[in-house]
Chains A and B, each alone.
Chain A
Amino acid sequence: MRISINPKWLRETSVKEIRELFKSDKQRMELVLKAKKAIK
């Protein structure tokens, strides 16, 4: 699996919103949250 993230969306979206969006897929949620953390 390879995930590509929209950087603009990532900047403008809160951690809470990310958790809500990916609540049914923990693996992808963790990858996106990790990317969110990396740009902070």
Chain B
Amino acid sequence: MANICDCTSGAKNLGQANCDAVLKSMNRVLFKQRLNADGSVPVIDFSGAVGTHDATWWETYLQATPLVNRYIVGTDVDDYEFEMQDREALETANKVEYKIHDGHIEVKYNVFGAKGASIDLYDRYKQLECGKWGINIIDDAGQLAGPINGTDMGLIPINSVQVKYGAQANSGTIAHVEISFRIPFTFNWGSVKLFQPNVAAGDLDLLEVMPIVPLVLDITNATDASADVDVTVFQSGSGFASGAGQSGQPQIGLAPANFTVTVDGVGATVATATETSDGVYTLTLAAPVATGNVIQIQAVATGFESNNDNYTV
């Protein structure tokens, strides 16, 4: 929240601490919806002792479910711009300027993939234009930035999100997604602190944090009195194949442990996963299903996560 009035605290000296943390250029962004599924306000809990914030702890935020509770990683930040705007003020006849409020902050950057950003990636970034989002910034030094309240790091609120697609052109432009948003003037930028990597556990490097690649899982067949359930698992992508309709690359090499299956809401054991062709699996459950059963399947592998697909036998 913005400081209503900073003027009651008296004067402050203006020296800067030796080697004080300085926010570097944005390297990654953590996007997070402003409310969790249970209505609580999301915070990153730094109440643990120094050195306990390791990769496993971090995964509770980056792999949280449902997705509304997750800190969604955006990487490949390039052409980053951050500009605090002039304040809004009223100039009187006496040529005195009275502040109405501070200026908001304009943030803009581009995402270029290794071979250009795909339309599918653009489509997923477009979700940021819906709902209310906040961010935490991971900078080039691996520091994490956000407003601090006690030992909790909250979100930097954003609004006015715009996501645009820049198509490949012959004139030296490669396909990219342009993301711009505003940090509102009501946010007190002075409340931002930097969590520094040198106080994290040894295995935590925020510059190694990677986004999860979405998988598209489709249950294609399950029949009465059979334990076999056919599924296809492809990476979400922009391609389209006639007949099959799958979009991205097939997700190969999945094993029973990669699948979470429920039948009528009760967990079911996957006995075997048979990959008949790339991305096409027959899952054999430990027991047959029956007409009317509702099967739900999700596939998760390191760095990949699918939708939950439902199928009524």
Q: Do A and B bind each other?
A: yes
* Pairwise interchain contact B271-A6, C-beta atoms closer than 8 A: yes
Q: Chain A, interface size: which category?
A: 10 to 19
Of the listed residues A4, A10, A22, the one surrounded by the most CB atoms of chain B closer than 10 A to its CB is: A4
Contact with A along B209-226 (1 / 0, CB 8 A): 000000000000000001
Across the interface, name the chain B residue whose C-beta is closest to A24: B226
Kindly state whether residue A2 has any CB partner on chain B within 8 Å. yes
Q: Which of A1, A2, A5 contacts B271, CB < 8 Å?
A: A5
* Pairwise interchain contact A13-B274, C-beta atoms closer than 8 A: no
* Pairwise interchain contact B274-A9, C-beta atoms closer than 8 A: no
Contact with B along A1-40 (1 / 0, CB 8 A): 1111110011001000000011010001000100000000
* Pairwise interchain contact A6-B274, C-beta atoms closer than 8 A: no
Instruction: List the 6 shortest-distance A-B pairs measured between CB atoms, nearest first.
Output: A6-B256, A4-B255, A2-B275, A3-B274, A4-B273, A9-B271
A-B contact pairs, 28 of them (CB 8 A): A1-B274, A1-B276, A2-B253, A2-B274, A2-B275, A3-B273, A4-B254, A4-B256, A4-B272, A4-B273, A4-B274, A5-B256, A5-B272, A6-B256, A6-B257, A6-B271, A9-B256, A9-B286, A13-B271, A21-B227, A21-B271, A21-B284, A22-B284, A24-B226, A28-B272, A28-B274, A28-B284, A32-B272
Across the interface, name the chain B residue whose C-beta is closest to A25: B228
Kindly state whether residue B269 has any CB partner on chain A within 8 Å. yes
Q: Which residues of A contact B (CB under 8 A)?
A: 1-6, 9-10, 13, 21-22, 24, 28, 32
Kindly state whether residue B270 has any CB partner on chain A within 8 Å. yes
Contact with A along B45-80 (1 / 0, CB 8 A): 000000000000000000000000000000000000
Complex CA distance for A24 and B284, rounded to whole angstroms: 12
Q: Which residues of B contact A2 (CB under 8 A)?
A: 253, 274-275
Q: Which residues of B contact A4 (CB under 8 A)?
A: 254-256, 272-275
A20 to chain B, nearest CB (A): 9
A4 to chain B, nearest CB (A): 4
B222 to chain A, nearest CB (A): 14
Q: Which residues of A contact B270 (CB under 8 A)?
A: 6, 9
* Pairwise interchain contact A1-B272, C-beta atoms closer than 8 A: no
| 16 further contact pairs, Cβ within 8 A, besides A1-B274, A6-B272, A28-B274 | A1-B275, A2-B274, A3-B272, A3-B273, A4-B254, A4-B274, A5-B256, A5-B272, A6-B255, A6-B257, A6-B270, A6-B271, A9-B269, A22-B284, A24-B226, A28-B284
Complex CA distance for A13 and B247, rounded to whole angstroms: 38
B268 to chain A, nearest CB (A): 11
Complex CA distance for A2 and B252, rounded to whole angstroms: 10
Q: Which residues of A contact B226 (CB under 8 A)?
A: 24
Complex CA distance for A2 and B282, rounded to whole angstroms: 10
